[in-house]
């Protein structure tokens, strides 16, 4: 009997060093803009190139933009289908997808999770809290649905090179500070895990606000806002009062204007990067690390993210040094207290001996 040997075809590897792409890549915008009601988030997004809106609320009725006509009983699949249309339709001219707003879409996601879930006992859940028996399982299931949307947005950018702008409202929430007292701050008005997933995916989280003025009048303990209405601006870096981030060399403060934002995004080295370098040099002088930091600055170049890492490292070093100095001061104070106690005991002993001598 003759044995036949079957030779499997050699599969060509799809990844090789011959297909490298060097340097920075100019990718489409993927950004979140969030802020309080009426600050101009939707107007900002409407100025992006050839936008089309997926509207979960009626806050864009005043804008002359193209938007999907969605059913009144909007469901989660309708939203996913709208993104699919932009991916598969080769003839459309749209360059930007705007989702307005994420937090108004969130209840629709929850409805989908509730409709397709159980309460952990074989019954139908009544709310997102009941899904899977509770303990946050409903919110985690919602995050998985958001992942589906993010995957489609990723494909939209890969295949059609479209910008993606995600609009959201802000609310004030107490931040549990592990290093000190808790404080209030602005955050996206949606579940933290879901918001975190979107903040990971985008390149820029933009906090939209007013450049308001405050004054502290004589005899008053708290500053009060003036009557003057400030300009609408975007903040691009996280602060104690709000969430923000950027993977580009964006200034900390930008006028709320799409052209200004887009130009700053591709401008390379910015004033904010220069400020970070100046701060790093100042900290280096305090810590005696000038030579090491200068080498790091040369290595970083125009990469604002890496410069921020250098600055964070220096701030940790400074905090460690301050803690050591504080500990040394406390130790010196303890030694001084002990010396004073010993001197006091010695004086009391001498006085007692003198009294005893006088009595004798």
Q: Which segment of 71-75, 233-237, 248-252 scores lowest on mean pLDDT?
A: 248-252
- pTM score > 0.75 for this model? no
Mean pLDDT of 239-248: 90
**Are the CB atoms for 253 and 233 separated by under 8 Å?**
yes
Question: What's the full length of the chain, in residues?
Answer: 360
* Cα 169–chain centre separation: 14
Backbone angles phi, psi at 64, to 5 degrees: -90, 80
pLDDT score recorded for residue 217: 54
pLDDT recorded at residue 265? 84
pLDDT, average across residues 207-233? 64
From CA 73, how far away is CA 254, in angstroms rounded? 38
Full 3-state SS string of the chain: CCCCCCCCCCCCCCCCHHHCCCCCCCCCCEEEEEECCCCCHHHHHHCCCCEEEEECCCCCCCCCCEECCCCCCCCHHHHHHHHHHHHHCCCCCCCEEEEECHHHHHHHHHHHHHHCCCCCCCCCCCCCCCHHHCCCHHHHHHHHHHHHHHHHHHHHHHHHCCEEEEEEEEEEEEECCCCCCCEEEEEECCCHHHHHHHHHHCCEEEEEEECCCEECCCCCCCCEECCCCCCEEEECCCECCECCEECCCCCCEEECCHHHHHHHHCCCCCHHHHHHHHHHHHHHHHHCCHHHHHHHHHHHCCCHHHHHHHHHHHHHHHHHHHHHHHHHHHHHHHHHHHHHHHHHHHHHHHHHHHHHHHHC
Specify the pLDDT at position 216: 47
Predicted pLDDT of residue 307: 81
Least confident interval from 177-186, 265-274, 278-287, 312-321: 265-274
Q: Among candidates 158, 192, 154, 188, which has minimal Cα distance to 171?
A: 188
Q: CA 149 to CA 127: how far, in whole Å?
A: 22
Q: Is residue 226 very low, low, confident or very high in pLDDT (cuts 50, 70, 90)? A: very low
Q: Cβ of 41: how many Cβ atoms within 10 Å?
A: 29
Q: How far apart are CA 81 and CA 77, in angstroms?
A: 6
Pick 345 or 47 by higher pLDDT. 47
For residues 80 and 148, the answer to whether their CB atoms sit within 8 Å is yes
Residue 271, token pair as written in the block: 């004033």
Q: CA-CA distance, 209 to 185, in Å (whole number)?
A: 13
Confidence of residue 357 (pLDDT cuts 50, 70, 90): confident
> Mean pLDDT, the chain, as a whole number?
85
Domain 27-267 has CATH 3.40.50: yes
Phi, psi of 342 (to 5 degrees): -65, -40
Let me know the angle formed at the C-alpha of 30 by 24 and 35, rounded to the nearest 5 degrees: 130
Taking the mean position of all CA atoms in its chain, how far away is CA 248? 13
**Alpha-carbon dihedral sign for residues 12, 16, 21, 27:** positive
Banded model confidence at residue 359, pLDDT cuts 50, 70, 90: confident
Confidence of residue 222 (pLDDT cuts 50, 70, 90): low
Cβ neighbours around 82 below 10 Å, total: 19
Alpha-carbon Rg for the chain, nearest whole angstrom, is 30
From the list 266, 153, 245, the residue with the least C-alpha distance to 203 is 245
* Cβ proximity of 137 and 121 under 8 Å: no
- Indicate the range of 189-193, 205-209, 338-342 predicted with least confidence: 338-342
């Amino acid at each position: 009997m003759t044995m036949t040997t079957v030779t499997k075809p050699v599969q060509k590897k799809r990844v090789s060093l011959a297909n490298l792409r060097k340097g920075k890549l100019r990718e489409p915008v993927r950004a979140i803009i969030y802020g309080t009601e009426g600050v101009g988030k939707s107007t900002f997004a409407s100025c992006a190139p050839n936008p089309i809106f997926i509207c979960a609320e009626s806050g864009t009725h005043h804008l002359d933009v193209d938007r999907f006509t969605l059913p009144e009983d909007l469901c989660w699949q309708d939203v996913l289908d709208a993104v699919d249309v932009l991916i598969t339709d080769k003839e459309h001219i749209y360059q930007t997808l705007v989702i307005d707003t994420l937090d108004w879409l969130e209840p629709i996601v929850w409805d989908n999770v509730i409709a397709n879930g159980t309460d952990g006992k074989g019954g139908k859940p009544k709310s997102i809290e009941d899904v899977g028996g509770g303990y946050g399982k409903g919110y985690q299931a919602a995050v998985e649905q958001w992942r589906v949307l993010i995957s489609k947005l990723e494909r939209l950018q890969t295949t059609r090179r479209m910008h993606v702008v995600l609009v959201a409202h802000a609310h004030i929430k107490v931040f549990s500070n592990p290093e000190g007292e808790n404080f209030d701050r602005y955050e996206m008005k949606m579940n933290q895990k879901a918001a975190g997933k979107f903040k990971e995916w985008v390149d820029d989280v933009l906090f939209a606000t007013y450049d308001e003025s405050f004054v502290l009048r004589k005899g008053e303990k708290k500053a009060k806002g003036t009557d003057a209405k400030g300009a609408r601006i975007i903040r691009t870096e996280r602060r104690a009062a709000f969430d923000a981030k950027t993977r580009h060399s964006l200034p900390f403060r930008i006028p709320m204007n799409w052209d200004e934002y887009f130009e700053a995004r591709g401008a390379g080295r910015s004033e904010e990067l220069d400020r970070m370098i100046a701060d790093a040099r100042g900290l280096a002088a305090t810590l005696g690390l000038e030579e090491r930091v200068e080498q790091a600055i040369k290595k970083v170049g125009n990469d604002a993210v890496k410069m921020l890492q250098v600055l964070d490292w220096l701030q940790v070093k400074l905090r460690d040094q301050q803690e050591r100095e504080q500990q040394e001061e406390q130790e010196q104070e303890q030694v001084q207290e002990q010396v004073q106690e010993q001197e006091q005991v010695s004086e009391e002993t001498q006085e007692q001996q003198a009294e005893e001598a006088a009595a004798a």
